[in-house]
A and B are shown apart, each in its own frame.
Chain A
Amino acid sequence: EAQVTQNPRYLITVTGKKLTVTCSQNMNHEYMSWYRQDPGLGLRQIYYSMNVEVTDKGDVPEGYKVSRKEKRNFPLILESPSPNQTSLYFCASSLGTPKLGEAFFGQGTRLTVV
């Protein structure tokens, strides 16, 4: 079954404590990205990767890091989380541009930073 798997689904952490949200896809997709969803703002792209070792900033990259060492995995790293990073996070993967095929999203990670 084609899927994007994120872990954990829920996370409560304290300000400044480093955390990693994992993302893995089994579709051999080259393009992966991270979004955050906030009320009234929809989905905003944090970082994206066009292939292994190729990553770039999206619209809201501040406070986040990513890495793409393997094609299937694209972890999101918060080195020093702050309360304004409390949000619902989604990982997505696709073949490439939307015209090539739809993006598949993970189930989401709800992060609360206190």
Chain B
Amino acid sequence: DQQVKQNSPSLSVQEGRISILNCDYTNSMFDYFLWYKKYPAEGPTFLISISSIKDKNEDGRFTVFLNKSAKHLSLHIVPSQPGDSAVYFCAASADFRNDMRFGAGTRLTVKP
């Protein structure tokens, strides 16, 4: 039972354009959401997070939007750079738990 879903296995965008990665969740107990980035042969690294009390969090070129009513979040990367090419995992956690539930990941390719 995948509680966190990333329905797009891959995404390709041109350098300088916006990348939008989407994530849906089913568990209404989730109240904290994170994005991790993973390069080949490396472990995932934290990118950005958002609490359910917010609908937007921004960090440089990266912005995460949360729509609680739709149980949907998205990661926007503007402008996209070739170095952003990686697999992006969406993750969610509930307040009383230490663990995270991950989506299947979206492979982003940014073409020069």
Contacts and interface: CB of A to CB of B under 8 A. Distances in A.
A96 to B, nearest CB: 6
Contacts of B62: none
Interface string A80-111: 00000000001010101111001111111000
Contacts, number: 67
B45 A105 contact: yes
Contacts of B95: 97, 99
Interface residues of B, number: 27
A30 B100 CA distance: 16
B104 A97 contact: no
A64 to B, nearest CB: 15
B80 interface: no
By secondary structure, the B interface counts as loop
B42 A108 contact: yes
B44 A98 contact: no
Given A97-B97, A98-B34, A98-B49, A42 B43 contact: no
A43 B89 contact: yes
Interface string B83-110: 0000001010101011110111100000
Given A41-B104, A42-B2, A42-B6, 4 more contacts: A31-B98, A90-B43, A97-B95, A98-B34
Interface of B: 2, 4, 6, 9, 32, 34, 36, 41-46, 49, 51, 89, 91, 93, 95, 97-100, 102-105
